[in-house]
Amino acid sequence: MAQLMSFLIAFSLLAFAPLCFCGKSSSGYLYPQFYDHSCPKAQEIVQCIVAKAVAKETRMAASLLRLHFHDCFVKGCDASILLDSSGSIISEKRSNPNRNSARGFEVIDEIKSALEKECPQTVSCADILALAARDSTVLTGGPSWEVPLGRRDSKGASLSGSNNDIPAPNNTFQTILTKFKLQGLDIVDLVALSGRSHTIGNARCTSFRQRLYNQSGNGQPDNTLDESYAAQLRMGCPRSGGDQNLFFLDFVSPTKFDNSYFKNILASKGLLNSDQVLSTKNEASMELVKKYAENNDLFFQQFAKSMVKMGNISPLTGNRGEIRRNCRRIN
């Protein structure tokens, strides 16, 4: 009990401390002040354009968060997800996790165009993704943090990495955890980051249909899914057709970044299989879900820490990579 109280007191003290993390890569440090002299208005420009995009369409906040996540899990946070197919490059946009799903590329293009006018070939597309993810979180009511900067952009993409390394909605808990561990992330990061764009945003019918009709290949629905919630979902997600029909990932507060996602999981109303397994397949993850459901501040604090940690997955620094002039193609 004393240990638990010490843990909670430490967290409450941290809540009043500014979030500033620096990440070390093999070739140098990322740090929040990276553009203070070379492009002092960089963060302001990103924030302004993201705010405009989210005001126009709230869903864009989740989309931009997801772009950063899908970028970092493939070859590190190097903006490889933004590259279009050309020459020997096969775009990650064509992978199963991204095809007809990843979006927000036009917003990144607008940010890059504005930054190129302000300070040509200075701010990387990878850093734009990291900043846009933070700003999207804040604009929907989530926590803020100082984003370590100094990433450079890749000169290639990995379609196979995108297909294999990004956790999928239908993955088992152990598969998801393994994919996180391969990126240097742990079970605490997994649970906190699952609240990432799943507290805001949408999912397509095709990503959870099997839970409604044939979870285990026996023609039966997922018995960990609340029956009344399942019946409601079936009305818009039939056995066949309607693949692109959209559903709120968090039906309680779909446009607000908060801990309702974890409360839904405890009520057996997690939309995706990858959501519900957090409370049914692992005791440690279940305890974390309960803690975050009870304490929104605790969730916010850990989410910010985990976002910084994820943003430091294998960044290109120093002379590695390049600063793209156009995020969709190499120079």
Whole-angstrom distance, CA of residue 199 vs CA of residue 271 = 11
Whole-angstrom distance, CA of residue 85 vs CA of residue 89 = 5
> How is residue 236 written in tokens?
């818009």
Tokens 């960044």: give the residue.
315
Instruction: Note whether 82 and 125 are within 8 A (CB).
Output: yes
Tokens 């590259």: give the residue.
83
| Phi/psi-derived region of residue 75, left when phi > 0, alpha when psi is between -120 and 50, beta in every other case | left
Axis crossing angle, helix 105-118 with helix 125-139, rounded to the nearest 10: 120
Selecting among 37, 68, 70, 198, the annotated active-site residue is: 70
Torsion of CA 83, 87, 93, 97, to 10 degrees: -120
Tokens 């279009």: give the residue.
84
Q: What are residue 54's phi and psi, to 5 degrees? A: -75, -35
Q: Does 70 qualify as catalytic in the annotation?
A: yes
| CB neighbour list of residue 228: distance below 8 Å, 6 or more residues apart | none
Q: What are residue 260's phi and psi, to 5 degrees? A: -60, -30
Tokens 């985990």: give the residue.
306
Residues assigned a catalytic role? 70
